[in-house]
C-alpha cells in the first residue's frame, strides 16, 4: 500500500475564547435569572434558560476541542477527533430540547398573560447584547472551518439578536401595556434558535455516521483522482470526517500500465488538500482491483450526495 498523509496545519487554539465566553455567560445567566424571577418575566427566564444551555454547550464544545487534540495511541489510532463532532451534536440536541420546553411554557402563559416591568427587561437584555456579541466575536475566526466552533459562534450570535428582540419587547410592553408580548417574544426566541440550530444538528448527525462533509463533492474528488497520469479508474473511494475540522480519504487507484512513486503520491495528496482540505489521504495503487467495493456505487459505500460546490483554493 502506498499512502500519502498531509497534516500541514494544526487546529486553532480557542482555549482563551472558551474560558472568557463561559465566564461571561455564567455571570449573565445569574443576573438574568434573578431579575426574570424578581419581575416574573418569562422572556427573561426563558432567555436565561437558553443562555444556561449555551454555557453547557460551550463546556461541551471546549471539552470536544480538547479531546480532539489528544495524541493518537495504539488503542485510538485516529486520536479522539470525533469528540468534536459528538460535542456539536449534543450541543444542538440540548438546544432543541430546551426550545421545546420554552414553547410549552410560552403557550401556557399566552392563556393568562401577566404584567412585566419593561425597563428592567430592557436593561438586562441590553447587557445580554454586549455579553453575547463579545462572546460571538471570540469564535468568529474559526466558524468557517470547524463545525464545533461554528456551533459556539452561531449560538452566541443568535443570542445577541434574541436579546435585541427582548429589548424591543420590553419597550413595547412599557409604552403600550401589551402583557401578551412577553410570551410571544418567547415563542419567537424559540423559532429563531430552532432554525439556527437545525443545520448544526443535521450536519453533526450526518458526520457521526461517516457522511461526506458538505464542503466536499465526492464526484469532484473522483474526477481529480481519475485525471492523474496513468490512472484508469478509481476503486472503493471513501471520504469522511475524523473531526469537525479534519477530513480523511481512502481510495484505490487502478493503474494497469504503471506504478506510483513518491512524487506521484505527493502531488495527489497536495491536490486533495488544496481543493478539498482533505488532511489525511491514504492511496492504494493496484494494477487490477482485488477487493470488492462495499456498495453498489463503484466509488464507495453509497451514491454521492451533490452539494453543488467544492472548496477551491
Please give the residue range of the domain that contains residue 185: 15-208
Are 229 and 293 in the same domain? yes
SS3 281: strand
Residue 238: pLDDT band by 50, 70, 90 thresholds? very high
Same domain membership, residue 157 and residue 88? yes
pLDDT in tens, 262-275: 899 999 999 999 99
Report which of residues 126 and 197 the model is more confident about: 126
Query: Residue 186, Cα to own-chain centre: how many angstroms?
Result: 25
What nine digits make up the cell of 209?
Answer: 455516521
The residue whose grid cell reads 450536519 is 203
- Write down the mean pLDDT value for the chain: 79
Structural domain ending residue among the three candidates 181, 208, 235: 208
* Higher pLDDT among residues 213 and 310, named by residue: 213
What kind and span of H or E run contains 48? helix 42-68
pLDDT of 1 higher than 90: no
Count CB-CB contacts under 10 A for residue 84: 32
Q: Is residue 122 part of a domain?
A: yes
The cell for 114 is 401577566
Could you tell me if 264 and 127 lie in one domain? no
pLDDT of residue 11: 44
Is 69 within the bounds of a domain?
A: yes
**Range scoring the smallest mean pLDDT among 127-141, 180-194, 197-211, 231-245:** 180-194
Is the residue at 3 inside a domain? no
Angle (nearest 5°) at CA 288 between 285 and 290: 90
Q: What is the pLDDT of residues 123-176, one digit of tens each?
A: 888 888 898 898 888 887 765 667 777 777 877 887 787 778 778 777 887 787
Q: List pLDDT tens digits, range 100-110.
A: 877 887 788 78
Q: Contact 273/312 with Cβ under 8 angstroms?
A: no
* Same domain membership, residue 152 and residue 72: yes
* pLDDT on residue 310: 41
Q: Does the reported pTM lie above 0.85?
A: no
Torsion sign across C-alpha atoms 274, 278, 283, 287: negative
Clarify whether residues 222 and 99 are in a common domain. no
282 contacts 3 by C-beta, under 8 angstroms: yes
Asked whether residue 10 is domain-assigned, the answer is no
Residues 283 and 151 in one domain: no
Distance of alpha carbon 208 from alpha carbon 302, whole angstroms:
16
Per-residue model confidence (pLDDT) at position 13: 67
User: Cell numbers 422572556 correspond to what residue?
Assistant: 43
> For position 282, what pLDDT does the model report?
92
Amino acid at each position: 500500500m502506498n499512502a500519502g498523509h498531509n497534516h500541514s496545519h494544526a487546529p486553532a487554539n480557542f482555549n482563551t475564547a472558551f474560558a472568557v465566553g463561559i465566564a461571561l455567560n455564567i455571570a449573565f445567566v445569574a443576573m438574568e435569572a434573578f431579575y426574570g424571577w424578581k419581575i416574573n418575566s418569562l422572556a427573561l427566564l426563558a432567555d436565561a434558560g437558553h443562555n444556561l444551555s449555551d454555557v453547557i454547550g460551550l463546556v461541551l464544545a471546549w471539552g470536544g476541542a480538547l479531546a480532539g487534540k489528544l495524541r493518537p495511541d495504539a488503542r485510538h489510532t485516529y486520536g479522539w477527533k470525533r469528540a468534536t463532532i459528538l460535542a456539536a451534536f449534543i450541543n444542538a440536541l440540548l438546544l432543541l430540547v430546551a426550545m421545546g420546553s420554552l414553547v410549552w411554557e410560552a403557550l401556557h402563559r399566552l392563556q393568562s398573560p401577566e404584567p412585566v416591568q419593561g425597563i428592567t427587561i430592557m436593561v438586562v437584555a441590553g447587557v445580554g447584547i454586549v455579553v453575547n456579541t463579545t462572546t460571538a466575536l471570540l469564535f468568529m475566526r474559526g466558524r468557517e472551518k470547524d463545525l464545533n466552533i461554528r456551533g459556539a459562534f452561531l449560538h452566541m450570535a443568535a443570542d445577541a439578536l434574541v436579546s435585541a428582540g427582548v429589548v424591543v419587547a420590553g419597550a413595547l410592553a412599557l409604552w403600550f401595556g401589551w402583557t401578551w408580548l412577553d410570551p410571544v417574544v418567547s415563542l419567537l426566541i424559540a423559532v429563531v434558535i430552532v432554525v439556527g440550530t437545525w443545520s448544526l444538528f443535521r450536519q453533526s448527525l450526518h458526520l457521526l455516521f461517516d457522511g461526506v462533509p458538505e464542503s466536499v463533492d465526492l464526484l469532484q474528488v473522483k474526477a481529480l483522482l481519475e485525471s492523474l497520469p496513468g490512472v484508469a479508474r478509481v476503486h472503493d473511494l471513501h471520504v469522511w470526517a475524523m473531526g469537525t475540522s479534519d477530513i480523511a480519504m481512502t481510495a484505490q487507484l487502478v493503474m494497469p500500465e504503471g506504478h506510483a512513486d513518491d512524487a506521484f503520491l505527493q502531488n495527489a495528496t497536495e491536490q486533495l488538500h488544496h481543493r478539498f482540505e482533505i488532511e489525511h489521504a491514504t492511496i492504494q495503487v493496484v494494477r487490477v482491483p482485488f477487493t470488492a467495493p462495499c456498495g453498489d456505487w463503484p466509488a464507495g459505500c453509497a451514491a454521492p450526495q451533490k452539494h453543488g460546490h467544492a472548496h477551491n483554493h
